[in-house]
Amino acid sequence: MKRSKKLIAMLLAGGQGSRLLSLTTKVAKPAVSFGGKYRIIDFPLSNCTNSKIDTVGVLTQYQPLILNEYIGSGTPWDLDRTYGGVHILPPYQAKDSSAWYLGTANAIYQNINFIKNYNPEHVLILSGDHIYKMDYYDMLNYHIEKGADCTIATLEVTMEEASRFGIMNTDKNMKIDEFEEKPKVPKNNQASMGIYIFKTDKLIEYLEADNELDTNHDFGKDIIPTMLKNGEKLFAYPFKGYWKDVGTIESLWLANMDLLGDKPRFDLYDKSWKIYSRITGFTPQYIGESSYVDNSLISGGCYINGKVINSVIGSNVVIKSGAVVENCVIFNNVVIENNAEVFYSILDEDVKVGSGAIVGEKNAGSKKITVVGREYEVGKNQVIKSGQNIEKEGK
């Protein structure tokens, strides 16, 4: 006799994240590095771990290999379980059909059997590309207390940003009476975070109905509006705290910078909410005699003998003497040779910067971040201007 679960999580990790330019040419957005040693997906996954959710389906599609290998059997997030645990769910060929995931709702629809296997009372739908800390069980308790069919986590955004989000109107009990996806003229600034908890039977009912129709098969565009129209009980769960959608180069860079400073906006040292990840940089870092490190985060395995200022450095990075790295986000295994200078840039994994090269510009700012893609080798004395997106040729 199988125990049925109270809540399982379905984590949408299939998107391309094309606005991250060359950073997502070879990897899906949730596998992109963040905060030095982490990857974006570590944050929603760690939220699951810390929320004591032991069953997580990770729906992959775009360039899943690195993500799949990274997640593995889920041990780093305590999700290697006998009953439950983390499961990678790619699109698959079934007897009657096979299809890529056509939209967020369709992705879940194609995995209804996975959900039914655990027979949970509720399903949590998450996306794998946001940086935030959240106890999903608090949201579940709220959802149960309200007797909701669907609860949507919401965030107050600025009115300028509001038209990028699903905006909802609620009554004084937080019951949703109106929902507009990316409205041109938003009525208020209560935005959907793309985090939903559904009563399982309602979710399945609406996914099955939606499958028959010719829609975008999207939660925000189709499922939620339809449920609302049918008078289902939808509630908003207001979230207070740091939350960043790191879907653009600028937002990814800014969110990394939020980790720095005496009082960082996002605290990685919060003992009550650890962020778990698969370890890469093993050996302690060596800070050399010619180094100068100021207001930066440095991950394991690094050799630093140059200047590192206001930057976030990944694992096993080498920064040789005379080199300057300022206002940068450097991913794992990058080598920056003597006297090279890197300003306002994001360097992808395994990039090499030759001696004397100059990448980016000293006062470029967050809107003109230079991006250098995976494994690219910047030549000796080569100059790459600000705002460029550089990619290695070939496969």
Partner 1 sequence: MGALGIIFADGKFDQLGDLVKVRTEASIPFGGRYRIIDFTLSNFVNSDITDVGVITKRNYQSLMDHIGSGKEWDLSRKNGGIVIFPPFGNYRNDTIYQNTIQALYGLIGFIKKSKEDNIILTDCDSVNLINYTDVLSTHDKNDADITIVYRNVKKDEVKSDYLVLGLDKDNVSSAQFGIKNDVSAISISTYIIKKELLIDLLEVAINKGATSFDQEVIVNNIGKLNIKGYLYDGVYLGFDSIKSYYENNMSLLNEDVRKEVFYSMPLYTKVRDSAPTKYGSKSKVENSFIADGCIIEGTVKNSVLFRGVRVEKDAVVENSILMQDTLVSQGVSLNAVITDKNVIISANQSLSGSKKLPYYIGKNVTI
251 versus 291: smaller Cβ distance to partner 1? 291
Shortest approach of partner 1 to residue 329 CB, angstroms?
Answer: 12
Q: Residue 131: CA atoms inside 13 Å, Cβ hemisphere, count?
A: 27
> Strand 55-59 and strand 7-12: pairing?
parallel
Distance between CA atoms of residues 60 and 24, nearest Å: 14
CB 13 within 8 A of CB 58: yes
What distance in Å separates the CA atoms of residue 71 and residue 59, rounded to the nearest whole number? 12
Least distance between partner 1 and beta carbon 388 (Å): 27
Question: Where does 234-278 have alpha helices with state H?
Answer: 249-257
| Shortest Å distance, C-beta 192 to partner 1 | 30
Q: What is the DSSP letter of 163?
A: G
Smallest distance, partner 1 to C-beta of residue 285, A: 5
- Shortest reach from residue 301's CB to partner 1, in Å: 9
CA 215 to chain centre: 26
Q: What DSSP element (H or E) covers 189?
A: none
Q: Which is nearer to partner 1, 33 or 111 (CB)?
A: 33
- If the CB atoms of residues 300 and 360 are measured against partner 1, the closer one turns out to be 300
Phi, psi of 378 (to 5 degrees): -80, 125
Tokens of 286: 């060596």
> d(Cα 53, Cα 266) in Å, to the nearest integer?
23
* Distance between CA atoms of residues 64 and 159, nearest Å: 35
Nearer to partner 1, 288 or 365 (CB): 288
Choice between 63 and 277, CB closer to partner 1: 277
- Nearest distance from residue 68's CB to partner 1, in Å? 20
Provide the token pair at 207: 């996914």
> What is the Cα Rg of the chain in Å?
22
Closer to partner 1 by Cβ: residue 238 or 288: 288
Please say which residue, 79 or 107, places its beta carbon nearer to partner 1.
79
Nearest approach in angstroms of CB 36 to partner 1 is 4
Sign of CA dihedral 365, 19, 58, 210: positive
Cβ distance to partner 1 smaller for residue 110 or 315: 315
Taking the complex as a whole, the smallest distance from the CB of residue 73 to partner 1 amounts, in Å, to 11
Q: Which residues bind partner 1 (CB under 8 A)?
A: 35-37, 75-76, 260-262, 268-269, 274-277, 279, 281-289, 291, 293-300, 308, 312-313
Angle at 262 between CA 256 and CA 263, to 5 degrees: 75
Torsion angle, CA of 34/105/150/31, rounded to 10 degrees? -10
Q: Kindly state the tokens that stand for 365.
A: 């700012």
Closest separation between CB of residue 313 and partner 1, Å?
Answer: 7
Pick between residue 36 and residue 220 the one whose CB is nearest to partner 1. 36
| Separation CA 171–CA 342 (nearest Å) | 51
